[in-house]
Amino acid sequence: MQRIALALTVACAVSAAGCTSTARVNASKEQLNLAARAVVGASLIGARGATPADQDKIDDTVAGLCGARVWTKEECSAHDAAQ
């Protein structure tokens, strides 16, 4: 019985330490913009879909959105099927 109490005490202490030791995160507009650019990329800028190079830019953006799971599997599949 003492081992169980000791194990529960240790588990609670470790859990409390893990929950309280995280650093604060800056959620400024600039940081959010940088995070969004990292996920989506900036290759879509100026693309109109009129040339194969434009389509490559669009595909790069879609790949980022699909890879980050911003879009559902169905949406990603629909884009792939449209090509």
Those residues with Cβ within 8 angstroms of residue 68's Cβ, 6 or more apart along the chain or in another chain: 39, 40
For the whole model, what pTM was predicted? Answer: 0.47
Our count of domains for the chain comes to: 1
What is the pLDDT at residue 25?
Answer: 65
Q: Which residues contact 44 (CB under 8 A, 6 or more apart)?
A: 57, 58, 60, 61
Measured CA angle at 55 (ends 34, 31), to 5 deg: 5
Between 65 and 24, where is the model more confident?
A: 65
Better pLDDT: 39 or 47: 47
Q: Is the confidence at residue 44, as pLDDT, over 80? A: no
Range of the domain at 49: 2-82
How far is residue 73's CA from residue 68's CA, in Å, rounded to a whole number?
11
Q: What is the pLDDT of residue 22?
A: 61
Residue in the block written with tokens 């995280």: 22
Task: State residue 41's pLDDT score.
Answer: 67
On whether the CB atoms of residues 41 and 64 are closer than 8 A, the answer is yes
